[in-house]
Structure 1
Amino acid sequence: MVSSVPILTGTNFAEWKEKVEFTLGVLDLDLALREEEPNPLTEESTEEKKEFYKNWEKANRLSIMFLRMTIASNIKSSLPPADKAKAYLAAIEERFKTADKSLEGKLMADLTTIKYDGTRSMQEHCIEMTNLAAMLKNLGMSVDDSFLVQFILNSLPPQYGPFQINYNAIDERWTSNELANKLVQEEARLGREGIKVAHYIQGAGPKAGKKHQMSHKRAPSRMNDNQVNEKKKAKKDEKCHFCRKIGHFQKDCPKRKEWFEKKGIPYDPEHKLK
């Protein structure tokens, strides 16, 4: 029975508290959680008061030990010292009250905005949404199964439009498990018909995915034999009439430029020698 109590990790406080209180109650060790500490014993204390004090002290000591045994080490070290089980449990609850509210908001936002984009199977998608609902329940915020069904339906892309219309048209209402099984079958049917769910990319415009990176330039197209021969012929026709060498024209000839410099004549590429 003790092993059924989960370790308090920070996201399961509601579940942890419920199981701790139940387990201590079954073990008859919850007296210190239900009753305030009795007054110190005196010589005039009755046997009944002495027995109650003894039972309370035992329950308090073992309850604190039990609480500490079921708390993760990193959380345990951040909690104040405990000498009263009831006060210790209250301190733990206060510690996670703010965190639970913040986490509840995030989980609920995820549950209501999550969309099926085809990157995973429909079964995995439904399991994720069911897990979100279970985490909310652990935090003390229960999500009715009928609401979970609606959240799952709202998460579907346009390809599942006929499926949604059919569901709304029938009188029968499915559980979330039944809906998940039907959606897995619908996913298989769409696959057989060649209909796939496009990956949803937030903020993608009409040209998304078409922009090439600078490092992904196209390779130059290959030339056929005729083009190669024409290029060689054009290269051969590039003959300098000044130095008679092939590969450049007269206006680009370095020796011609040197000749102009030696003669003290301003260089003119279009100048014709006489």
Structure 2
Amino acid sequence: MAGVISFGSVNIGSSHIPFLTGDNYSDWKEKILLTLGCMDINLALRVDEPPIPTESSTPSERASYKRWERSNRLSICLIKSHIGKNIRSSIPECTKEKEYMIAIEQQFVSSDKALASTLITKLSSMKHMGDKGVREHFIKIRDIAA
């Protein structure tokens, strides 16, 4: 099965990650982080980039950089593959996973505040007009609050 890694009896795949849209950032981020952790490719998110190996670098330093670089590259590929093209174009290009996640978060923090402001205004200005029942009015209020 493509995109699936098996750990004993547990299959971890990227198919359960939703595409990032304007209203599901929190759920998307939670599932991306879980998947990166389970696939063990979240090293670039947890650890700062080690120095680029030179001629005098030890084999351990070279291996450390190689693991970090692989984690960074695969993580960015997975993240980008679960963002719609229309949203991806509004996020600045980054070469590091940690920077890319911060750029995505900054994109959605402002939109979350705008959405919250719109919903609060809508809730505070709602009035029961009597054309429909009170039950329907409460259902509208509940839906906006959700």
Identify the TM-score tier after normalising by the shorter chain. 0.7 to 0.9
> Is the aligned partner of 1:119 residue 2:106?
no
- The equivalent of 2:117 in structure 1 is 105
- The equivalent of 1:47 in structure 2 is 59
Q: Secondary structure at the residue paired with 2:50?
A: coil
Q: Secondary structure at the residue paired with 1:42?
A: coil
Aligned residue among 40, 62, 73 for 2:74: 62
CA distance in 1, matches of 2:135, 2:141: 11
- The equivalent of 1:244 in structure 2 is none
Percent identity of paired positions between Structure 1 and Structure 2: 41
Alpha-carbon deviation of 1:62? 1.0
Q: 1:55 to 1:132 in 2, by over 3 A?
A: farther
Q: Partner amino acid for 1:122? A: R
Q: Secondary structure at the residue paired with 1:88?
A: helix
CA distance in 2, matches of 1:10, 1:91: 15
Q: Partner amino acid for 1:49? A: E
Alpha-carbon deviation of 1:8? 1.3
CA distance in 1, matches of 2:18, 2:126: 28
CA distance in 1, matches of 2:15, 2:141: 28
Which residues of 2 match residues 180-259 of structure 1 at below 5 A? none
Q: 1:47 to 1:78 in 2, by over 3 A?
A: same
Alpha-carbon deviation of 1:113? 5.0
Q: Secondary structure at the residue paired with 2:64?
A: helix
Alpha-carbon deviation of 1:92? 1.3
Aligned residue among 28, 33, 41 for 1:21: 33
TM-score, structure 1 length as denominator?
A: 0.43
Q: 1:44 to 1:95 in 2, by over 3 A?
A: same
Q: 1:113 to 1:3 in 2, by over 3 A?
A: farther
Which stretches in structure 1 are left out of the alignment for 5+ residues? 135-274
Alpha-carbon deviation of 1:119? 2.9
CA distance in 2, matches of 1:67, 1:123: 40
CA distance in 1, matches of 2:69, 2:49: 8
Which residues of 2 match residues 156-195 of structure 1 at below 5 A? none
CA distance in 1, matches of 2:82, 2:137: 31
Q: 1:75 to 1:120 in 2, by over 3 A?
A: farther
CA distance in 1, matches of 2:59, 2:135: 67
Alpha-carbon deviation of 1:63? 0.9
- The equivalent of 1:30 in structure 2 is 42
Alpha-carbon deviation of 1:23? 1.5
CA distance in 1, matches of 2:133, 2:78: 42
Q: Deviations over 1:221-247 (max 9, x none)?
A: xxxxxxxxxxxxxxxxxxxxxxxxxxx
CA distance in 1, matches of 2:122, 2:49: 44
Q: 1:113 to 1:89 in 2, by over 3 A?
A: same
- The equivalent of 2:6 in structure 1 is none
Alpha-carbon deviation of 1:18? 2.0
Which stretches in structure 2 are left out of the alignment for 5+ residues? 1-12
Alpha-carbon deviation of 1:82? 2.6
CA distance in 1, matches of 2:111, 2:134: 32
Q: 1:41 to 1:114 in 2, by over 3 A?
A: same
- Bigger Cα Rg: 1
